[in-house]
Chain A
Amino acid sequence: MKSAVIVFPGSNRERDMLNALEKITGQKPVAVWHAETELPKVDLVVLPGGFSYGDYLRTGAIAARAPIMADVKKKSDAGVHIMGVCNGFQMLCEAGLLPGILMRNNHLKFVCRQVKLEVANAKTAFTNKYKQGEVWRCPVAHGDGNYFTDADTLARLEGENRVVFRYAEGTNPNGSLNNIAGIINAKGNVMGLMPHPENEIEALNGGTEGRALFESLLEAVA
């Protein structure tokens, strides 16, 4: 699987993501600077975590209008898999590739801890290696993870099984609606989540349960 990770000014999780992709896919991913206008031919594009543009205006708002994003939208239309993690999820929402928005955590504090994630839909390209309803441990690190959208959109997301991950066992760290931690677009090729699966791939770091997400993609694009 060929992959690319887009780097924005203020991204800080791109190396963890590049490392995870290389270790799990066996192929070296390409890092692409945000000011580029064209992505290489890849199977997966990742928008990594961090604090692009210092979170100015709204988290992910400026990055979502970066030059490279026009091609990300084009790739999305063409069916290329796109994943946004943390700040990347915020960008996908701001870019209109996913509905809703990530608002300030309801308690106003930055959270950096392990949460429990329930796989709410195991039939996606991003989750097929998990079992439906499986609960796994994953770290979060964010100040704006409080997923919000209007009631109609929320009903549609739920009705179409587009909530992919939910915070489980009372571990919702931000007040997100319906404990939403990750959602997918209608076509099933664009997924965003607040937690960091790329940081849960080594036993040395406490767990390897994030690997299944990357392995799911490997299987889906094969």
Chain B
Amino acid sequence: MTTKLIEVNSVSKRFGNVVALKDVSAAAGAGEVTCILGDNGAGKSTLIKILCGLYQADSGEYRVDGELMDFSSPRDALEMGIATVYQDLAMVPLMSVWRNFFLGSEMQKGAPPAKRIDVAKSKDTVVDELGKMGIIIRDPEQPVGTLSGGERQSVAIARAVYLGARVLILDEPTAALGVKQAGVVLRYVVEAKKRGLGVILITHNPHHAYPVGDHFVILRRGEVYGDYRKEDIPLEQLVQMMAGGADLETLQHELEKAAESTGDQELAEVASEYGEEATELAEETAEAKERDGDA
């Protein structure tokens, strides 16, 4: 078995009485996209905070290149080449594209005290690097705030790649975007993958995850609910799993109760439909798990 670029093995995390994560494992190799899927409260953001070094897991292992890691801050993770691109923290809107791109890692020339930013080289590099990722910027001086949400995400991804990231962690990069813009961002995810980066894509949208992902880990209530390679799971099943069998059952009970108390026939019909779907889904999941066991 090849060593993965980044992997967590059965990590758990509690906050007081609340179990945020329990025995969760996930991994991404070089040139692989691993999608972490889950609804709100599934534990996605806890997992991402462990991966980027903001939280430490209570138990379980975190390995980079097969080596055991013990990060105490995002800086440590960054030094290992693990870059996290957050949905809304990515950029300073009033600053220009090139200033944002190099913020914190400015290109300088000259000796102190005349040490200064190499503006021409910075701008050229930005246009170049963005070009390599297929992002065309008209003017590197334009404020980032004038870019669309998708473009901003793309610039943030390009920056992480340029600054030497080997692993990209993307937190809901498509959540606030329209269909077309989400497509643009996903293209850069594929681009990063082609350049040999390991990508961990956190999302609640299976339609965005499926086309780019190699591997899907579905989280529910802090636990791994499903773990599939792309060839083992069709999109429909992924969507259904995301919709969630247990949730459907709960919904069914709620609707039945409502139907009983109001005597609404239509509502009762909908409830039974949900029930059937939930049963189907449970069967499929069981089958898939058996297949995994065989393999």
Q: Do A and B bind each other?
A: no
